[in-house]
Structure 1
Amino acid sequence: MRIDAGPDDAITAHVTIDPGDPVFPGHYPGFAVLPGVYLIDYADRAVRAWRAAGLRLRAIDRCRFRRPIYPGDEVSIRLSASRSQRELRVSASAATARGPAADLRLRYEEATGP
């Protein structure tokens, strides 16, 4: 994953989807697409790299998958954040060369223990 910094409240993460990932033969047989949970994981990893450790994913407020992502696709995930007290709200938009692929809304809290 590569992360490009934008303004203080935004970044873009870039991920190339590995065609050799073992998830593809079973998701879906004959029509390999990236599982949506992978996009959530990529966005979460980008948030943690951007905002440092000490965050715990508290909620997935929105997951709208617009278009499939295929093995070998380059995915750009634009993230922006806003903070209120001990909570961080993140909006993420994923896209490929074919256009918008997903919109996510994630909520984090500061981790206070293990």
Structure 2
Amino acid sequence: MILGRDATKRPGFFYMEERDMTGQDASGVITINEIQTLLPHRFPFLLVDRVLAYVPGESITALKNVSINEPFFPGHFPGAPVMPGMLILEALAQAGGILVSKSLEGPLGNRIFMFTGVEKAKFRRPVVPGDQLTLRCFNLKRRLTLCKMSAQATVDGQVVAEAELSAAVVDAATLG
């Protein structure tokens, strides 16, 4: 299955369809080992555990397993742990980064994927320990090194967050 958009439906809403998953391994996933070759993030800030499906240049569906052992839960909030909304957006941005990385011609090399903006962000319900976030990103526009995506996080099929994300692929040497 892949994520897509239907122009006859409301903007920003997703549908699923059967499609060839070009670029996936035989099991249809990208494992954590490959994710670590695509993203510079590491514990405690790597927020994508597995990729279920992707179509280069189009869409990605990934997972984040939310554990009580996450480092942010002791302080957000003591006695009533809730995953911070900004970290849900970061998880979506990381899934989008994997999509962009797998969509580029050739390896990233010395370039990195930088999150540059958020629009139309909505948080629908809390994410708590034990939840499994399904992260979906769909490419809206791409020009040279800039891209814009529609992103949606769900738990058990219910939308918990959605936004439009902007990002750029930049040379890491220019950052400092």
TM band (smaller chain): 0.7 to 0.9
In structure 1, C-alpha distance between the alignment counterparts of 2:62 and 2:75, rounded to whole Å: 26
Q: Secondary structure at the match of 2:98?
A: helix
Name 2:147's counterpart in structure 1. Answer: 88
RMSD: 1.8
* Larger Cα-atom Rg: 2
Name 2:160's counterpart in structure 1. Answer: 101
**Greater relative contact order (CA < 8 Å, ≥ 6 in sequence):** 1
Question: Which of these residues, 26, 33, 51, is aligned with residue 3 of structure 1?
Answer: 51
1:98: how far off?
A: 6.2
Using the size of structure 2 for normalisation, the TM-score is 0.59
2:160 partner letter: A
- Going from structure 1 to structure 2, the CA distance change for 1:59 and 1:13 (only over 3 Å counts) comes to same
* Unaligned 5+ runs, structure 1: none
Q: Secondary structure at the match of 2:63?
A: strand
In structure 2, C-alpha distance between the alignment counterparts of 1:55 and 1:111, rounded to whole Å: 6
Q: Secondary structure at the match of 1:104?
A: strand
Kindly indicate whether the alpha-carbon contact (under 8 Å) linking 2:135 and 2:154 is maintained by their aligned counterparts in 1. Answer: yes
Q: Where do 1:67-86 residues align within 5 Å?
A: 67-86=125-144
Name 1:44's counterpart in structure 2. Answer: 93
In structure 1, C-alpha distance between the alignment counterparts of 2:170 and 2:71, rounded to whole Å: 32
Name 1:19's counterpart in structure 2. Answer: 68
Kindly indicate whether the alpha-carbon contact (under 8 Å) linking 2:59 and 2:99 is maintained by their aligned counterparts in 1. Answer: no
Q: Secondary structure at the match of 2:125?
A: coil
% identical equivalent positions: 25
Using the size of structure 1 for normalisation, the TM-score is 0.87
In structure 2, C-alpha distance between the alignment counterparts of 1:82 and 1:64, rounded to whole Å: 18
1:28: how far off?
A: 1.7
Count of residue pairs the alignment pairs up: 114
Q: Secondary structure at the match of 1:19?
A: coil
In structure 2, C-alpha distance between the alignment counterparts of 1:94 and 1:85, rounded to whole Å: 25
1:4: how far off?
A: 2.0
* Unaligned 5+ runs, structure 2: 1-48, 102-107
Superimposed CA distance per residue, residues 83-112 of structure 1 (whole angstroms, 9 cap, x where no aligned partner): 342320011110101611000211112314
In structure 1, C-alpha distance between the alignment counterparts of 2:55 and 2:74, rounded to whole Å: 39
Superimposed CA distance per residue, residues 3-60 of structure 1 (whole angstroms, 9 cap, x where no aligned partner): 1224441110111002112311221222111101111221122122221144321111
Say which structure is richer in strand.
1
